[in-house]
Structure 1
Amino acid sequence: MSRKEMAWWLRLAVLMMVGSHWAWGQCETSIPKLISQCGQYVEGSGPETTPSKACCDVITSLDIPCMCKYVTPDVEKLVNMEKVVFVAKSCGLTLQPGMKCGSFVVPPSV
């Protein structure tokens, strides 16, 4: 892993831990596991890619509406919310159009 990648992961981990401190207890999830298994699929740049089974296992165990309450503007700077929706849908989750996740609004299905 390059220094640039390591720095990105460290920033994301810190932001998620600090910004989502309440989410850990409120949403009963493991932020470090979410980052390690799914981070590469939701980072800001690059194309959408189909998530791994390990990522889907984490995603499908989440209370997505609960987690969305704790998405901060700082997290949105690092995570591409359109990719988050793509990953969730790729893992078989149904996200309600119009649902807010941070400042992002889930678009209507095509």
Structure 2
Amino acid sequence: VRFIGWIVAVPVAFIVIAFAIANRTPVGIHFDPLPYELDIPLWAAVIGALAFGFILGALIRWLFDHRWRVEARQGKRHVRALEREISSLTQRLDGAPGGAGEAAK
């Protein structure tokens, strides 16, 4: 699996590097209605916008998945409680007179 990741990552890295080298022209970023302007290379604006979109999308996905994380946490607690109950019932059965626990195994 790691090898496949490298097979994908290396060409993508080369493409990003080639894009950055080919697009070094400065562009003006205006923050209307604020009086601020930022001159940065085109590649930085494009890659920055992509990174911002990726992070924003990941944040939105994380917020919408909150319900599933809560349900998973509650399910784990329920499973642990049931495992404790099984353990205590098994101990009670093993300690019962007449060796009922041995017959159940």
Both structures adopt the same fold (TM-score exceeding 0.5):
no
Larger Rg: 2
Higher helix content, 1 or 2: 2
Higher strand content, 1 or 2: 2
Greater RCO (CA < 8 Å, at least 6 residues apart): 1
Please, what TM-score do these two structures have when normalized by structure 1?
A: 0.26
Please, what TM-score do these two structures have when normalized by structure 2?
A: 0.27
